[in-house]
Amino acid sequence: MEQRNVIITGIQGAGKGTQSEILRDKYGFKHISTGNMFRIQYACGSSLGIEAHKYWSIGALVPDSITISLLKRHLSTDKNLLDGFPRTLPQAQALDDMLLETDRFITQVIALELSDESALQRIEIRQTCIHCGTVYGSAKQPALPNFCDICTAPLITRADDTTEKARTRIATYHSQTKPLIQLYSARDIVHHIDASLPPEQVAAHIVRALKL
């Protein structure tokens, strides 16, 4: 089977989670979201989750050593979709090293492009299910306000989705994560996608880019 190790990256609010769910449900990718994994670990009361919460609760990046330790447990042999990782150049190198251990490599990068202003508008109205992690916003609203369509659990505004913390995360994205585009562009594997379009149109562009 042809290996697929795809990174989906973009500013907070660009729709990485929404598009990842589509690729998971329709095309069989394993959706690996470090953010969701950390939230699950924190909800379970694990030491790793508690340590990670100290950082994401203030809008800061979780240290590489913690993130990489968690990621190693979840990489599958093929069709990985990495959402929210890597976010720094050292993480990108660590990811390359992990994949190389089993003769794998990053095959494609989906870069979702969205302005800072649009990202803030989306983040400010975003809600997340406290149980399954499903995200709702302007493009995807629950049938029953404040409750998840999938598991009926309550929806909350994440602690790191306040305007102040969102601005911090956006600044961190520009300083630490956006440089990764240059790294992967040098390998000629980056596909730039306009994330301001409706989700179904964004998905269609991604499917074409990945030749699914």
Structure tokens at 201: 């149109």
Active site residue 16: yes
The catalytically annotated residue of 4, 39, 87, 165 is: 87
- Contacts of residue 18, Cβ cutoff 8 Å, sequence gap at least 6: 135, 139, 140, 199
Of 31, 191, 4, 176, the C-alpha closest to 92 is: 176
Express each pLDDT in 162-205 by its tens digit. Answer: 888 889 889 989 999 999 999 999 999 999 999 999 999 999 99
Active site residue 4: no
Express each pLDDT in 51-107 by its tens digit. Answer: 888 887 777 778 888 888 788 877 776 789 999 889 889 989 999 998 898 888 999
What pLDDT, on a 0 to 100 scale, did the predictor assign at position 72?
Answer: 80
What pLDDT, on a 0 to 100 scale, did the predictor assign at position 165?
Answer: 85
What pLDDT, on a 0 to 100 scale, did the predictor assign at position 1?
Answer: 61
Active site residue 158: yes
What pLDDT, on a 0 to 100 scale, did the predictor assign at position 11?
Answer: 93
